[in-house]
Structure 1
Amino acid sequence: MKTAHIEKIIEKYLKKEKTQSAILVNGVWGSGKTFYLKSQLKEIIKNNNLEVMYISLNGISSIENLEHKLFLHFIPKLGENQNDLVKSITNISTNIANATTKLLFRTEATDLLKGSTVKSFNFKKYCICLDDLERCKIPIDELIGYLSEFTEHKHTKCIILADEEKIKKQKSNKQLAHKYDEIKEKVISRVLNYDPELLDIFPKLIEKYKSKRIFYKFLNESQTFIVAVFKEQKLKNLRNIIFYLDILEAVYPNIKNADHKYIEEVLLSTAIFSLEFKNGNLTSKDSNDFKEFGNFNKDWFSRIASNFLNDKSDKPRKKSNPELFYDRYLTNRIDQYFFYPSIYKFVLSGYLDNKKLKKN
């Protein structure tokens, strides 16, 4: 689904009075759902006069843990004139000052504010955004039942981020994972599939470099080439691109005055080895082992093809790791490939030898 369509649906949901359900944004791990929420959807929520109450469900193992997280969002509001909140606090202690002291210095905040007390807060001005549903340790039926207290009975706006495939494939509690589709209907009215076009999201990914004006301009000018390389790999994990951009930031001062051909070589080489490293095909232990990476060129491929054609054996032939690497990255880009040992070592080890890169 296009992001523009997701935003229209969510805006319509936020404007609707007395909603009784949540919306789930579904996407694979690393696809940028959290980034999308914080960079795009957050503004839409604020423009509808709601505050974002963001909570990651990662590792949360009980409803009490979740209530504690919900409650912590209200601490900054203790000094403000919010009648519903004041009423909740004064039910527990004699005055606001005393309550504030207890809340800020007791380690178990949920000793003071449990269950019904947390639910008695005024959530009308908030949109609860729950991230990492697939990483939550609370049984899914228990969590959904708890959320229905807010969505169905209090008409609280709620946006949930998840990778539904991960939930359905969970090894623990298989029965509940199998019944996930049935259980979620109690709270979730609509699932919006987030699968952004890289060309659309790339400008957002590089915004953090705006203060570094020259590098930011370079990224804008290079985005067509960079996006094309990653699209060829059908990349869905934006964390890999973020890692690549950070590597490129350190490399850039050495190439900013270089010929266009060298710049493309560096962009491609950095992308390839960033992906190999992040996908686990290379590790830091390989930083001094250049393997076959310095030998790839058209002649190398011609020799491999010739050997294959001259092989009269009837046995099925398994491709070597170098051949698989060539197929993966270089079939259509061998003219742009050059092996830079200094970049290879930097990606794998974290140490960049600027003198060697310039020499390369």
Structure 2
Amino acid sequence: MSDNQHIREFLDYYCGLPKEPQYAVLLVGLWGSGKTWFIKDFVKTHLNQPKRVLYLSLYGVQSFDDIESEFFRLLHPVLGSKPVRVLHRLARGVLKTSLNFDIDGDGKSDGSISGGLPAEKLLERISLDATKILVLDDLERCSIPIADLLGYVNQFIEHGGIKAILIANEVELLKTASGTAAGYARIKEKLIGRTFEVIPEVGLALEHFAADLPSIRAQQVVRSNFPLITQVYECSKYKNLRLVRHALWDFDRLLQSLEPSVLQSDELLKDLLALFLAYSFEVHSGAIKPSEVEKLQDHWGLYLRRNNNEPDPDQHFHDIRAKYSGLNLYTSLVQQPVLVAIFSTGSVPRAELNASLLKSKYFQDKNQPTWVKLWYGANLSDDDFASVLATVDAEWAARSYRNLGEVIHVTGLLIRYAKHGIYSRSVEEVVTSAREYVSELLASGEIPMIEPNMRPSPFERDSYAGLGFASMEDNAFQDFLEYIDERRRSALQASLPAQANALLSLVDTDTNLFYRRLVLNNDAENRYYKTAILHFVPPIDFIGRLLATTPENRRTVAYTFKERYSFDQFNPELLPELGWLIEVGSLLRQEVAVRAGKVSSMSLQWIVDPHINNAISRLERFKPAPSE
């Protein structure tokens, strides 16, 4: 027997009464408890004549006129449709005739409407009698004062003999009633014969939710995991079926982003479903922000940050984890930036998601890299873990890892195990060794140089190969990452003279590309819009290229100067080019004088004035004030 079977039985009795009961039934429950689904399912499965029911949501309804118009539409779908909205006033008049009660509030019956029914007999007289059952949902979301609304409904029950089922979140309703709470209580006592609280019926709801999902694969996964979904739902303690429906629809879209090989693993999909539901419930209930998913995943960091002498700043996350303690939800199937993207922007980073899942334990084999096996070390037996750690240690000493992402992963893992006394070396020894390792890779050119103005993906900083870096919360690890960035920035600076020389060649071969690389735009070649580089070009070499190219190309170069320095937010970083611009302007003025009387003299002057002069003026505003 379901939790709400007694409500179904009473509604069967109520709706089947041969005489007018002269009272309404009120169904209450929190938002998302399934009240609307319950009553629609009851109408569909228990009433022999569902057309007897006039269901109306009062969400956003502001006046009795709105209610009357909706009744007319329900009773006469064709006449109440948009093409015949012109009959709206007539509809209201007919409704007044049929209801025979005071709508205008003037104390007089509105039972007779001047003009009567149209001669063409396009509209039949509305029949609202004891055979009809009104279902009014979302009472708490109606703008009409609740006492007035219930008084209005009472007219139908007392004078029309109509049965009515009202549905509300009474907690919210009483909040909105505030000053009229007493009036609500009085009229409720008069109008409501029975009140029932609807209990969320997740088992029955899941079948409907599954049937509504767009993809067949998602329907299959959900139906085969009803007990698991119910367990996660009950652990969450939210009692909100709307959260379940929302999460399952998002999960459907997630599945549509998975590669066929990933979709073949039922066990992976089961764990992924549980993980996704728990995070979705917490995010969409407002318990955590999308960016805080990391703290739920970070099993180690939560405990490392604890200080027994002070209140735990992460207690909220400990409490959430404790709710799901009976479930294996923290296997890091999906890296944190992927979850953040899904829950904050709605996007699904397909490549990163699949890479993460394909690195999971469900796809482990003897050919899997040992550092990946170490990443899943918590799932290994003591003997297997010791064997994997020894292998990784030997590979580290032999410098077998030639990819920066792998080096960062191993560094984070060794720091983690060193802090817990599982690895023989100290954290300081691990970091020193890791720095030496990175220096060797930089010297050999095996670490790619960062690009100027590069906008790194959040995945690059937090993860590699679909797996999040261990020890992200550790200061030693963060210092190591900063060391890598610093060394790569130094390598970039050392490469700029060569890149500047390549840029110079574009002045007389591809000035449009010269422009796209130097001025902010959406082009993939937009490399140097806030990187000072022109000062690495000898001014005399630049002038030589400029004079050798066509007048049309020189105009493009002039336009480049005009636009490059028009963004003040970048000019502090472009300040090193100031001296270069001054010297180029001086050389150009000399060339203008030499070419006096020629049209080229005029075109060169246009480059200097206004474009180079304006650029110099804009940069000079960011020169540091002279020290006293």
TM-score (norm: length of structure 1): 0.78
Contact map agreement 1:265 1:337 (CA 8 A) in 2: no
The answer on 1:325 being equivalent to 2:317 is: yes
Q: In angstroms, what is the RMSD of aligned CA positions?
A: 3.0
The answer on 1:19 being equivalent to 2:21 is: yes
Q: 2:31 & 2:186 partners in 1: Cα distance?
A: 23
Contact map agreement 1:270 1:347 (CA 8 A) in 2: no
1:196 maps to which of 195, 200, 222: 200
Q: 1:337 & 1:282 partners in 2: Cα distance?
A: 16
1:71, distance to aligned residue in structure 2 (A): 1.8
The answer on 1:222 being equivalent to 2:225 is: yes
Aligned equivalent of 2:561: none
Counterpart amino acid of 1:358? Answer: N
Q: 1:193 & 1:239 partners in 2: Cα distance?
A: 17
3-state secondary structure, aligned to 2:135: strand
Q: 1:290 & 1:130 partners in 2: Cα distance?
A: 39
Aligned equivalent of 2:156: 150
- Structure 2, gaps ≥5 residues long: 101-110, 112-125, 357-628
Counterpart amino acid of 1:38? Answer: K
Aligned equivalent of 2:516: none
1:185, distance to aligned residue in structure 2 (A): 2.3
Contact map agreement 1:25 1:160 (CA 8 A) in 2: yes
Aligned equivalent of 1:337: 330
1:180 maps to which of 162, 180, 184: 184
Contact map agreement 2:25 2:192 (CA 8 A) in 1: yes
CA gap of 1:250–1:155, structure 2 versus 1, over 3 A, is same
Aligned equivalent of 1:81: none
The answer on 1:346 being equivalent to 2:342 is: yes
Contact map agreement 1:22 1:157 (CA 8 A) in 2: yes
1:65, distance to aligned residue in structure 2 (A): 2.3
1:293, distance to aligned residue in structure 2 (A): 4.7
1:11-64 Cα deviation digits (max 9, x unpaired)? 10111022212111111112121122223334323x146522111112222222
CA gap of 1:52–1:357, structure 2 versus 1, over 3 A, is same
3-state secondary structure, aligned to 1:357: helix
Aligned equivalent of 1:90: none
1:337-360 Cα deviation digits (max 9, x unpaired)? 133232342122111122211101
The answer on 1:256 being equivalent to 2:237 is: no
Q: 1:126 & 1:29 partners in 2: Cα distance?
A: 27
Aligned equivalent of 2:128: 123
3-state secondary structure, aligned to 1:242: helix
Say how many residue pairs are matched: 321
3-state secondary structure, aligned to 1:292: helix
The answer on 1:356 being equivalent to 2:352 is: yes
- Output aligned runs, 1:133-148, within 5 Å: 133-148=139-154
Q: 1:126 & 1:9 partners in 2: Cα distance?
A: 17
Q: 1:145 & 1:292 partners in 2: Cα distance?
A: 51
Counterpart amino acid of 1:115? Answer: K
1:264-286 Cα deviation digits (max 9, x unpaired)? 442233123212321234557x4
3-state secondary structure, aligned to 1:152: helix
Contact map agreement 1:144 1:186 (CA 8 A) in 2: no
- Output aligned runs, 1:1-360, within 5 Å: 2-17=3-18, 18-45=20-47, 47-48=48-49, 50-76=51-77, 104-106=85-87, 108=89, 112-113=93-94, 115-119=96-100, 121-124=126-129, 125-170=131-176, 174-209=178-213, 212-253=215-256, 254=258, 255-258=262-265, 260=267, 262-282=268-288, 286=291, 291-294=294-297, 296-297=298-299, 299-300=300-301, 302-304=303-305, 307-308=307-308, 311=309, 317-321=310-314, 323-330=315-322, 332-333=325-326, 335-339=328-332, 340-341=334-335, 342-360=338-356
Q: 2:212 & 2:255 partners in 1: Cα distance?
A: 16
Counterpart amino acid of 1:139? Answer: P
Say which is worse superposed, 13-22 or 200-209, in terms of deviation: 200-209
CA gap of 1:302–1:333, structure 2 versus 1, over 3 A, is farther
Q: 1:325 & 1:162 partners in 2: Cα distance?
A: 33
Q: 2:200 & 2:17 partners in 1: Cα distance?
A: 26
Contact map agreement 1:71 1:118 (CA 8 A) in 2: no
RCO greater where, 1 or 2, for CA within 8 Å and sep 6 or more?
Answer: 1
Aligned equivalent of 1:96: none
Contact map agreement 2:54 2:134 (CA 8 A) in 1: yes
Q: 2:54 & 2:269 partners in 1: Cα distance?
A: 43
Q: 1:32 & 1:338 partners in 2: Cα distance?
A: 32
Aligned equivalent of 2:612: none
Q: 1:282 & 1:105 partners in 2: Cα distance?
A: 49
Counterpart amino acid of 1:43? Answer: T
3-state secondary structure, aligned to 1:318: coil
